[in-house]
Amino acid sequence: MSNRMWGGRFADGPDAIMEEINASIDYDRKLYRQDIAGSKAHVRMLATRHIVTADDADKIVQGLDTILSEIENGTFTFSRALEDIHMNVEARLAELIGPAAGRLHTGRSRNDQVATDFRLWVRDTLDTLDGQLGDLMQVLAEKAERHAGDVMPGFTHLQSAQPVTFGHHLLAYVEMFARDRGRVRDARSRLNESPLGAAALAGTSFPIDRKMTAAELGFDQPMANSLDAVSDRDFVVEALAAASLIAMHLSRLAEEIVIWCSAQFAFVKLSDKFSTGSSIMPQKKNPDAAELVRAKTGRIYGALQGLLVVMKGLPLAYSKDMQEDKEQAFDGLSSTSLALAAMTGMMRDLEPVAKTMKKAAGSGYSTATDLADWLVRVPGLPFRDAHHVTGKIVGLAVEKGIDLHRVSLSDMQAVEPKITNDIYSVLSVDKSVRSRTSYGGTSPVNVRKQARRWKKELAKATR
Contact 201, 226 (CB under 8 A): yes
Please give the radius of gyration of the chain, using alpha carbons only, rounded to the nearest integer: 30
| Cα(144)–Cα(452) distance, integer angstroms | 9
Q: What is the pLDDT of residue 2?
A: 45
Burial of 348 (0-12, 13-18, 19+ CB in 10 A): middle
pLDDT digits (tens, 9 = 90+) for 5-30: 545 555 566 666 766 666 677 888 99
Handedness of CA 448, 452, 453, 455 (dihedral sign): positive
CA 101, CA 118: separation in Å to the nearest integer? 23
Q: Clarify whether 278 is annotated catalytic.
A: yes
Least confident of 173-177, 254-258, 288-292: 288-292
Q: What pLDDT, on a 0 to 100 scale, did the predictor assign at position 365? A: 81
Which of 67-71's residues contact partners 24+ apart within 8 Å by CB, and which partners? 67/36, 67/92, 67/93, 67/96, 68/32, 68/33, 68/36, 71/29, 71/32
Q: What tens digit of pLDDT does each residue of 100-151 get? A: 999 999 999 999 999 999 999 999 999 999 999 999 999 999 999 999 999 9
What confidence tier does 384 reach under pLDDT thresholds 50, 70, 90? very high
CA quadruple 63, 66, 72, 75: dihedral sign: negative
Residue 86 three-state SS: helix
3-state SS assignment for residue 161 = strand
d(CA 22, CA 14) in angstroms, rounded, equals 9
Rounded percentage of the chain residues whose pLDDT exceeds 90: 77
Q: Are 418 and 381 in contact (CB under 8 A)?
A: yes
Return d(Cα 228, Cα 317) in angstroms, integer: 7
Active-site residue among 157, 205, 410, 438? 157
| Catalytic residue from among 189, 262, 271, 278 | 278
User: Taking a C-beta distance cutoff of 8 angstroms, is the pair 84, 117 a contact?
Assistant: no
Active site residue 157: yes
Look up residue 322 and give its DSSP letter.
G
Beta strands in 56-95 (DSSP E): none
- Which pLDDT tens digit goes with each residue over 225-267? 999 999 999 999 999 999 999 999 999 999 999 999 998 999 9
Can you tell me the mean pLDDT for 414-419? 92
